[in-house]
């Protein structure tokens, strides 16, 4: 197992269990205690985890922790998949026929796109993944905002995307988040945060859809505050 794969597995164990000992990680991964200690020290220096006596704990379990690691879109697809599926199923029930909806980036929103009801809709998105899922739907009018393409999250951002959104009317906006703490919703990228903030400001109805792993986390770019928005979450 190469270093990057090993450290991803360490992050996953900490996300799932909160606090894990060096021995537990060593046994799970089949590598030496010394190797795991080096990995933990490196991840702790990046602010992704917190070292505790004999092991480590997830940064998300520390109050007001600032999260720094941003998973790629493909990595996020495998995390908390069942929760995301449940949230997506509930979220599509909120969509009204003939409405204009904004679908943001994120793997939970992507799940929504694959479940949209078979009736007429106008869909605005800055997500290439959402666009690819829906481009063959003849009952949907699809608007992909332009702009600068951000490969890590398959999202279009920047002034062009923002100008396009400003010109549109939106009935309901659905966005994801990287962290939710004390009423603040945050993302890991400033430009994506601005797009989400703008979509919410334009929408008559706003939904933040997030799995329970986002609760208690904080990134440095806040797209919105909670007041006036409706949350759709599951908890472990």
Residue 35 lies in a domain: yes
The contacts of residue 167 (CB under 8 Å, 6+ apart) are none
Between 156 and 180, residue with greater pLDDT? 156
For Cα atoms 166, 172, 178, give the angle at the middle one, nearest 5 degrees: 85
Average pLDDT over residues 152-162: 90
Instruction: Say if residue 157 is in the same domain as residue 198.
Output: yes
Residue 97 lies in a domain: yes
Q: How confident is the model at residue 76 (pLDDT cuts 50, 70, 90)?
A: low
Residue 68 lies in a domain: no
Is the pLDDT at 157 greater than 80? The verdict is yes
Residue 94 lies in a domain: yes
**Residue 228: what pLDDT?**
46
Instruction: Say if residue 9 is in the same domain as residue 85.
Output: no
Instruction: Say if residue 120 is in the same domain as residue 198.
Output: yes
Number of domains in the chain: 2
**pLDDT of 98-116, one tens digit each?**
999 999 988 889 999 999 9
Dist CA 105 CA 155 (whole Å): 6
> Which of 19, 34, 61 finishes a domain?
61
Sign of the torsion formed by the C-alpha atoms of 95, 97, 101 and 107: positive
Instruction: Say if residue 85 is in the same domain as residue 180.
Output: yes
Domain CATH for 49? 1.10.10.10
Instruction: Say if residue 139 is in the same domain as residue 32.
Output: no
Q: Range of 148's domain?
A: 73-233
**Residue 49: what pLDDT?**
83
Q: How confident is the model at residue 213 (pLDDT cuts 50, 70, 90)?
A: confident
Instruction: Say if residue 81 is in the same domain as residue 45.
Output: no
Residue 194 lies in a domain: yes
Pick from 54, 63, 62: nearest CA to 36: 54
**Residue 58: what pLDDT?**
77
**pLDDT of 186-212, one tens digit each?**
777 788 888 988 999 999 999 988 887
Pick from 100, 86, 95: nearest CA to 168: 100
Residue 12 lies in a domain: yes
Instruction: Say if residue 188 is in the same domain as residue 85.
Output: yes
**Residue 212: what pLDDT?**
77
Mean pLDDT computed over every residue of the chain = 82
Instruction: Say if residue 56 is in the same domain as residue 155.
Output: no
Instruction: Say if residue 48 is in the same domain as residue 146.
Output: no
Domain CATH for 102? 3.40.50.1360
End-to-end CA gap in the chain: 30
**Residue 233: what pLDDT?**
46
Dist CA 218 CA 225 (whole Å): 13
Instruction: Say if residue 46 is in the same domain as residue 100.
Output: no
Instruction: Say if residue 118 is in the same domain as residue 159.
Output: yes
Residue 67 lies in a domain: no
Q: How confident is the model at residue 96 (pLDDT cuts 50, 70, 90)?
A: very high
Average pLDDT over residues 47-76: 66
Average pLDDT over residues 64-92: 69
Residue 66 lies in a domain: no
Instruction: Say if residue 168 is in the same domain as residue 91.
Output: yes
The contacts of residue 10 (CB under 8 Å, 6+ apart) are 25, 29, 36, 39, 40, 43, 49, 56
């Amino acid at each position: 197992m190469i270093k990057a794969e090993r450290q991803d597995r360490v992050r996953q164990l900490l996300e799932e269990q909160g606090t894990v000992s060096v021995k537990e990680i060593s046994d799970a991964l089949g590598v030496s205690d010394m190797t795991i200690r080096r990995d933990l020290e490196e991840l702790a220096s990046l602010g992704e985890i917190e070292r505790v006596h004999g092991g480590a704990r997830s940064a998300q379990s520390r109050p007001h922790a600032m999260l720094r690691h941003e998973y790629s879109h493909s990595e996020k697809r495998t995390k908390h998949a069942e929760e995301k599926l449940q949230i997506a199923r509930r979220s599509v029930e909120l969509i009204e026929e003939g409405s204009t909806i904004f679908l943001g980036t994120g793997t939970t929103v992507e799940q929504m796109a694959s479940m949209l009801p078979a009736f007429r809709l106008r869909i605005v998105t800055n997500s290439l993944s959402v666009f690819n899922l829906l481009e063959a739907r003849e009952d949907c009018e699809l608007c992909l905002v332009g702009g600068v393409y951000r490969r890590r999250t398959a999202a279009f951002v920047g002034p062009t995307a923002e100008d396009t959104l400003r010109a549109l009317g939106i009935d309901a906006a659905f966005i994801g988040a990287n962290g939710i703490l004390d009423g603040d919703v945050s993302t890991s990228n400033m430009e994506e945060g601005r797009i989400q903030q703008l979509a919410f400001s334009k929408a008559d109805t706003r939904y933040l859809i997030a799995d329970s792993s986002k609760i208690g986390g904080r990134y440095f770019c806040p797209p919105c505050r909670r007041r006036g928005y409706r949350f759709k979450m599951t908890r472990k």
